[in-house]
Every structure is written in C-alpha cells, then in structure tokens.
Chain A
C-alpha cells in the first residue's frame, strides 16, 4: 500500500498523534530506539485527569488485550526509568508513605495505599475551607483543623489549586508550615497526612521540607477532581518529552491519509513513515459520539470489546448502551489498527491507549497499564521494522 518508498521513507518521521500517557510513551520509546519521531497534539487529554491510583495490575481489560499484558513489565520498567531519571518526578508512580518509602500503587484504591502505612496515632490535616482527604472518613487518625490557605477566594478552590500555589509562590511553603505548627501545637502525633497539596513538580522536595520542619513524617492522600496527581503526571510526561528532545507541535489533526501516508493539518498533508494514533476517547475526540460513534481521523471500524468482569456490566445497565463506552479500535499483536476485513488498514498505522477501548466505562478510559503497554509494543514493532530495514 501507499507507504513512501526508498530514501524518502527512511528520512520521514513517525508521527504520533496525541500527547497523553500513550502518545508520550510511544514517542519516548521511538526516540530511545533512534527512530525519527514527531508528536502532534492539541491539548492534554484524560491523562490530566488521572486519579493517581495506578491501574497496572491484571484486571478485566487485560483479557481483551493479551499483547499488552505480555509486554507490561518491560514497558513499565521503561517508563519508570524514563520518568525517574528526571529528578522532578520522584515518587510519581508510588505514593510516598510516612517513612518516605515508596508504596507501589498497583491496582491501589488510591488513599488506602497511603493510609495503610500509618499507625493509628497520626493527624489528618483539615484544610479549611476544603476539608480533609478521604482518609479522615475512614476513621483513622485525628482530624486537626489547619488555618491555611489564607486566601480562600483565590486558591481555596481545590487541593490542586493549592498545590499550584504552593509551588508557584516561594513564600507559601513557610506559611503552610507555620499554620501546621499552630494546628499541631500541644498535641502528639506519629505522623501527618495531608491532602494532595504538595506542589506539582517539586512534590518530594516540599514533602521533605514540611516533614523536617514538623519533626514527624508527612504523607499525602489522594482526592477527587481536579486531580493533583493528574497535573503531576502531565507535567512529568511533558518534561520527559522535552528532556528526550522529541519535537512537539500543537496542532489539531483533521484526518489521516493512507495513500500517500500522512496526516492532514489544516491545508497541509504532513507525510509520515508511520502513524501512531494515540488520540484518546470521547473526552479528546479520539472517538466521537455525535453525530455517530466513530473514529473520526481514519474512520476505523470499532469493536465492542465487552470485558468479562461482571462489575463492568453492572455499571453499564441503564439508559446508556455500555458498549458505547467500551468500544474502541481493533488491533493486531503489534498494535496496528485493524480495518473492516480484520486485517491492518495499513502496515504502518498503529492505535494505542484509550482509543483501543475496554477498561473503565465510568472514566471512559483504558487505564494506565494498558496505555503504557500498547504504546510500548507499537513503538517496538515500528523500531524493529526500522532496524531490519523493512520495506513495503
């Protein structure tokens, strides 16, 4: 089919569409393997909403994507090493517990992972006017009221807003520490559990600073949207692409062309050696619901992919057809996108991440493990093809 041939094909970059978790992992992996790559994306997607409880372990969705499961460990190692090489992401995958040790959050229902690390003698900070993290509702620890932030109108909107503020204003950490000292005065606690307010890209440094000032270990719990871990993940992925010097362009792709292979941006057809679709699901327009459920860039056929876990079915009862939320683009073992005949639409067009469907119908997402593994496999398939001088 219409892949560019000869020398031209070798110099053309692989175009990754989407800069969420899946697109970033694919691009970083291609770059690491020496394959020329470019990322085109118009905004952050579901990745910015990531709740921080990493869904990496075996679960229902794995059964619909066995190729991802086989590669998961290698893919995770790649991402851990990639992200942890940037000092700013220390502690991203695992929540720090009170001793400062990492707790793996595989399949963690978020907050529990941290709270389990606590004894009963800890304090849970209630930051007025937003209150305390979920942890306090579990009846562990003693809730202490902290008079911070001092400007509720501006950044008392959410813990995520506080986290931004704490990082942006160099005088703010001292104010938080003062408020915490006042709140804890005359009490004895083994440790302190905070809502997720400790910055976006300097979390570990801030946590140490607060712990040193208070003289007790400090941990953080998760909370709802807007998600501080989501902001942290987005910041870390962007930093990873920058550090790896992957060229990135802010653009909305209108469609992809199979012959010649390329992506349409405005009036321009940008030619590609291969295309990785990492466009997410309904949230980002990777799939559209109006006027019909379809994949808008290449009109790829969708497979319902109904997970076997009965929990998912229970959730999809009601006025909506659950399949709408579970459906996605089909793929071969190398994560090439499948066409109507069940064969790849093109030898060099791949689909990864949330676009593949399955997973959690409530968040309309495939979850982290799936995104990371599919992107890693697709990039590896492409790079192996490059290495053997594959021609089509």
Chain B
C-alpha cells in the first residue's frame, strides 16, 4: 500500500494524527449534531470556480474522457465544410473553454456528421460546442 509504506518520520506521524482527528471530529458532528454539510463545497467553489474547477455531472465526466482521446490527427478539420479555425484542439484544452466559446462554429448543418463518422478514435465532436458554451458560460458567471 503506497500511502502507508515508507519511513515513519515524526512529521509524517503528525500529519496522519491531524488527519485522524479531523476525520473523527467530522464524524462526531454528523452523528451527534446532525450536521451533514459544513459548506466545504461552497468554499471550494468560491476559491476555485474562477479557475474553471466547477463540478461536473457524471455525463460530463464521461464526455471529457472521450474528448481526451483526441490524437490531433486533424481529420475532423480537413473534412469540415464550415469556416472554423483549428477547432479539434479544443477537445483537449478544457482550460481554454472560456476562450473557445467565442471561436466555435455557430452551428452545424443538422445532417452533417462528417467529422464524427471519420474521427479514428471516436471523439463525439458535435457535442463539443454545446459543452464548451455551457461550461464557458458557467465560468464567466
């Protein structure tokens, strides 16, 4: 077990002790005071939402995983009839979602599936614009 192996220095022992105290205190509060949530999520969002670390739904997590299969081969871009500049790159660069929202194609012709059917790794390309806009908007808010 990686966490528990290695030499037990005083510093290490102390960290584990703090962790144990914090954990027990939290359990005690939940049990005896009925406090289920002490605002940790809100505090986290206050600090980090601006940096794009907003919570994701299970569906979004799955989507991001499939977007990360992009190999930058450029096939999608080569066959897209829309005047879009280098948009497959966005499938990976999630941290740039805020900027990408303005650059993405307005909308695809409903019958066009060119990029998705040819992408060798199966990136769900048509879902990117909507997702980026959603998350881009969430981040600006």
Contact = CB atoms under 8 A, between A and B. Distances in A.
Interface of A: 42-46, 48-49, 153-154, 157-158, 160-161, 164, 225-226, 231, 283-285
Contacts of B118: 43-44, 48
A157 B75 CA distance: 11
Nearest to A162: B78
A367 to B, nearest CB: 16
Contacts of A43: 117-120, 122
Interface string B79-121: 1010101100000000000000000000000000000011111
A362 to B, nearest CB: 12
A157 B73 CA distance: 12
A157 B78 contact: yes
A283 B74 contact: no
Interface residue tally on B, bucketed by range: 10 to 19
A160 B121 contact: no
Interface in B112-141: 117-122
A43 B122 CA distance: 8
Contacts of B78: 157-158, 160-161, 164, 226, 231
Contact of A226 (B73, B81, B117, B121): B73
B129 to A, nearest CB: 18
A316 B40 CA distance: 44
A283 B77 contact: no
26 contacts: A42-B122, A43-B118, A43-B122, A44-B118, A45-B120, A48-B118, A49-B73, A49-B75, A153-B83, A154-B83, A157-B77, A157-B78, A160-B74, A160-B75, A161-B78, A164-B79, A225-B72, A225-B73, A225-B75, A226-B73, A226-B77, A226-B78, A231-B78, A283-B120, A284-B121, A284-B122
A284 B120 contact: yes
Contacts of B86: 157
A341 B81 CA distance: 52
A225 B73 CA distance: 6
A48 B121 CA distance: 11
B122 A48 contact: no
Nearest to B79: A164
Nearest to A282: B121
Contact of A158 (B74, B117, B120, B122): B74
Given A45-B120, A160-B74, 4 more contacts: A158-B77, A160-B75, A225-B72, A285-B122
Query: Which 3 A-B residue pairings sit nearest by Cβ, starting from the closest?
Result: A226-B74, A161-B78, A160-B78
A209 to B, nearest CB: 22
Name the residue in A44, A153, A226 with the highest tally of chain B Cβ atoms < 10 Å from its Cβ: A226
B120 to A, nearest CB: 5
A164 B72 CA distance: 19
Contacts of A226: 73-75, 77-78
A46 B72 CA distance: 13
A17 B85 CA distance: 35
A297 B77 CA distance: 31
Nearest to B122: A43
Contact of A157 (B72, B74, B120, B122): B74
A160 B122 CA distance: 20
Contacts of B79: 161, 164
A164 B76 CA distance: 12
A154 B72 CA distance: 18
Contacts of B72: 225
Contacts of B83: 153-154
A42 B78 CA distance: 20
Contacts of A284: 120-122
Contacts of B77: 157-158, 161, 226
Contacts of A157: 74, 77-78, 85-86
A120 B39 CA distance: 74
A144 B50 CA distance: 50
A46 B85 contact: no
A49 B70 CA distance: 13
B120 A48 contact: yes
A43 B66 CA distance: 15
A164 B75 CA distance: 11
A43 B119 CA distance: 7
